Amino acid sequence: MKKLLLTLILFLVPVQALAAGGAVSAADPRAAAAGQAMLRQGGSAADAALAMMLALTVVEPQSSGIGGGGFFVYHDAVTGQPATIDGREKAPAATREDRFLQPNGQVMPFRTAFLGGHSVGVPGNIALAAKAHAKWGKLKWATLFQPAIELAEKGYVVTPRLAGTIAQMAPLWTKMDATKAVYFQDGRPKAAGDVIRNPALAKTLREIARKGPNAFYTGRIAREISRAVTYAPENPAPLTMADLAAYEAKERPPVCVTYRIYKLCGMGPPSSGATTVFQILGMLERFDLKAMGQADPKAWHVIAEAMQLAYADREKYLGDADFVSVPVTGLLDKNYIASRSALISDTTSLPRYEAGTPPGAQPRTAAISGEVQGTTHFVAVDGAGNVANMTSTIEGPFGSQLVAAGMALNNELTDFSLAPMKDGAPVANRPQPGKRPVSSMSPTIVYDQSGKPIFAVGAAGGKRIIMQVTKTLIAHLDWGLSAQEALAAPNIYFNADALLVESGTALAAQADALAKFGRTVQVNAIMPSKANAAQRTAQGWVGAADPRSDGVGLQE
């Protein structure tokens, strides 16, 4: 009963909290509490972020966890520099370029492609956590696991959001006995207010806590993952013990640019987040967005134009830089971005949005990748000024729908372009053994003119992640909104037929004005978002969470 009362109390914590020392923000209050506990024990921002990642494995299993991967962006207060770790999932060695083609050569329906073993990549989050902890952790490795273990063993209350996702996906679980064992009760899907206990996951977490990260990639846990995928009840596909043992998280150079008076840093390939977010901002730099303000349809018009031009480059050039040439420098070249910005008129829309030719780009054919909405983001800042900003994912709701050793397994391989060829040429983001699929995850840290971090943000939501992060940055840096207000600002995106604006917002009221720029505008009620941020203020760091989510910010 005490545990249930604590859970209810946590849900009443305001979405914004001020901390002179440190702050955390996550998409679930119980995960935020895990991060807060690490800070209060003297842990670093890295410790807090990793504890949140582990807790989210338990309480937000539909979105992320140790059965998936992530990107970690860290500001080191000692060096004053950003660093990034790539924990993105990798394709098993048996992966072929035609993995998602049917015998007739046509692309599989997405339902076939993502369901079961066919879509599971080698998880990277534990390897990422080990690398981050070794570099920046202060607490013992096992300490980071304690909140998650307690939640898995003692149980946690199902939120309406989780209950809705369980109900949505349950029809796919007719053969998924391990999944139903966790998320069904009395022959029905768990509902809001029910309690989930996951002893199998608690056992897994205890084993990794006690034995270290190798316990995940070898031994019992690895065998259970391998068996679950290789002998999956739906679309079995080989994922071997050797695939797991060979996985490495990689520290990669951060991608940094200047925007107005600020420096922004994010994650390079296989993330498309930093390059696309920074391209959009670069194209907008010549427009006085501050003077326009968020109430001016012209501001949203030029944002929409830059968005669609940058996404066109994303689809053509982004991929795993270990496998294909990704012209990051060219995509962010100031002259190239200026040439792309010159295509934008402040009075009319472009008739089409095509990729450009950035310096250093090799001939390439564009293809659409298959990201769907999912994922989670969390931020931690400690009293020493370290900032940990991580986006974590298993891809779509409940990933592949498989559960192994208590954890939901990802469906990240459907983030590859399902068709490996287009117009007779190979696409950059095609499936290949050992390759990491492109991601839109966009963890971003902003620095002021003196080099101090002042803002950190990231989001969930598939390809919409990029635009959630971009609009939050514009709202904060250009329009002067607080972190909380910036996250709450309207969302904007697009599809093949129309510009999409979020219903029930001030932007929706501008739909007719936006249409006068010569485009079709659709007011879209289905634009879920789940973003988290932290902001430095004169009094200290503030954690903030998207009001559309269950998220909260907590102080140290």
Number of C-beta neighbours around residue 285 at 10 A: 17
Closest by alpha carbon to 492, among 530, 452, 517, 521?
Answer: 521
203-207, 372-376, 495-499, 518-522: which has the minimum mean pLDDT? 372-376
The DSSP bridge pattern shows strands 540-545 and 425-426 to be: unpaired
Mean pLDDT of 205-222: 98
CATH class of 252-367+467-555: mainly alpha
Q: How far apart are the first and last CA of the chain?
A: 26
**DSSP annotation string for 213-268:** THHHHSHHHHHHHHHHHHT-SSS-----HHHHHT---EEEPPEEEEETTEEEEE--
Closest by alpha carbon to 529, among 449, 469, 485, 446?
Answer: 469
Tokens 């696991």 belong to: 145
With cut-offs at 50, 70 and 90, classify the pLDDT of residue 20.
Answer: low
101-105, 154-158, 424-428, 485-489: which has the minimum mean pLDDT? 424-428
- What whole-number percentage of the chain has pLDDT above 70? 95
| Model confidence pLDDT, tens digit, residues 391-413 | 999 999 999 999 999 999 999 99
Is pLDDT at 269 greater than 60 in this prediction? yes
Active-site pick, 165, 204, 276, 375 = 375
Number of C-beta neighbours around residue 246 at 10 A: 14
Residues of the chain with CATH 1.10.246.130: 252-367+467-555
What is the pLDDT, as a whole number, of residue 363?
A: 85
Count the alpha carbons within 13 Å of 41 in the hemisphere toward its beta carbon. Answer: 19
Pick 100 or 9 by higher pLDDT. 100
Distance CA 271, CA 331 (A): 14
What is the pLDDT, as a whole number, of residue 344?
A: 98
Residue 375 annotated in active site: yes
Pick 11 or 411 by higher pLDDT. 411
- Secondary structure class of 59 (helix, strand, coil): helix
Task: For residue 141, give Cα distances in angstroms to 132, 416, 435, 472.
Answer: 11, 33, 29, 34
Distance CA 415, CA 417 (A): 6
With cut-offs at 50, 70 and 90, classify the pLDDT of residue 371.
Answer: low
What is the pLDDT, as a whole number, of residue 372?
A: 65
What is the pLDDT, as a whole number, of residue 368?
A: 61
Mean pLDDT of 181-200: 98
Mean pLDDT of 220-233: 98
With cut-offs at 50, 70 and 90, classify the pLDDT of residue 369.
Answer: low
| Model confidence pLDDT, tens digit, residues 68-91 | 999 999 999 999 999 999 999 999
* Mean pLDDT value across the chain: 94
